[in-house]
Amino acid sequence: MSRRISYREAMREAMQEAMRADPRVFLMGEDVGRYGGTYAVSKGMLEEFGPERVRDTPLSELGFTGAGIGAALGGMRPIVEVMTVNFSLLALDQIVNSAALYRHMSGGQFSVPAVIRMATGAGRQVAAQHSHSFEGWYAGVPGIKVLAPAMVEDMRHMLAPALADPDPVLIFEHAALYNMEGELPDDCVPDIRSAKVRRAGKDVAILAYGASLHKALAAADALATDGIEAEVVDLRVLRPLDDATIMASVAKCRRAVVVDEGWRSVSLASEIMARIVEQAFFELDAPLARVCAEEVPIPYARHMEEAALPQPEKIVAAVKGMFA
């Protein structure tokens, strides 16, 4: 059995469930309370949980993210919402210089069981300062875990294990997906450890996450009409990367394309390609390819924004190039 739910509602339900179950869990961030959340994710939660547990903050990303980390050190289980990944750069110091390294640097004495959620990605014509994808940068930081749900089932079921994790977990929600609806099966198994094959195939492995996953699935549909059976892997856990699932798919298909909305250079895509070269080089029948964001600030005008981002047509072209 399943029911229909939006990506937005899935996270709201997950937060409500967590806060009902554990008095230590609370939500803090800009406009999470009275406004109902910038993307309306927390709409209605203030009424249920009150202003202590659905806590509006000043526009102080460094201060309130650090306070969330401190509250986690002090025994609480905060969910810190940062409005967008662009703004999270103001909090980068606390995420990287505090949360990520406290456990290791203290010789195992202090863990930081905080969850930090933020919207990422482009596609909504909000221009460069609200549209970038920096999750790949965070995925390079030892000491944190990085999740990127693309499907409603992961949006619904990744939060609980993230909160139960003693270490800091970042969740990147793609802003273009909040309105997306999907079927939520009743029997989902929470999983924040592995990638997942979303479409089985045999000719090429398309490795993607977030909104790019849906573009990869669209590309796979298009390739199927040309007789190319693409396997689509939802990376969904960006740190630690699930090498086993990635390499299994690469070994099976013998060709691979990585799709990543981050800028191409020094990207998550380049890391994944390097790992494939290290671990599965002799399985490959063709050079690897990647479809990333163009290396420009994401523009406002729709046609220019679309041109800057990975699109199904670009993925199809990259795959066909391997068979040329």
- Rule CB under 8 A: which residues touch another protein? 26, 52, 57-58, 60, 62-78, 93-94, 97-98, 102-111, 113, 142-143, 145, 163-167
DSSP 298: P
| Closer of 82 and 309 to another protein (Cβ) | 82
The helix-helix angle for 312-323 and 211-225 (nearest 10°) equals 50
Q: Is 174 a catalytic residue?
A: no
Coil vs helix vs strand at 273 = helix
Catalytic (active site) residue 303: no
Residue 57 CB, shortest distance to another protein, in Å, is: 7
With CA atoms as reference, report the closest residue to 10 among 136, 135, 171, 145. 171
Query: What's the closest the beta carbon of residue 60 comes to another protein, in angstroms?
Result: 4
Compare residues 97 and 129 and give the one whose CB is closer to another protein: 97
The least CB distance from residue 46 to another protein, in Å, is 16
Q: Would you say 77 or 214 has its CB closer to another protein?
A: 77
Closest CA to 19 of 40, 38, 60, 47: 47
In a 3-state reduction of DSSP, which class is residue 48?
helix
- Between CA 318 and CA 300 the distance in angstroms is 26
Q: Would you tell me the crossing angle of helices 268-280 and 243-253 to the nearest 10 degrees?
A: 70
CB of 62 to another protein, least distance (A): 5
Task: Catalytic residue, from 9, 30, 81, 130: name it.
Answer: 130
d(CA 66, CA 94): 5
Nearer to another protein, 65 or 131 (CB): 65
Contact 90, 126 (CB under 8 A): no
DSSP, collapsed to helix, strand or coil, labels residue 96 as: helix
Shorter beta-carbon distance to another protein: residue 57 or 131: 57
C-beta of residue 145 within 8 angstroms of C-beta of residue 115:
no
Q: 61, 135, 173, 231: which is the annotated catalytic residue? A: 61
What three-state secondary structure class fits 77? strand
How near is the Cβ of 158 to another protein at its closest, in Å?
16
55 touches 70 (CB < 8 A): no
Catalytic machinery residues: 61, 130
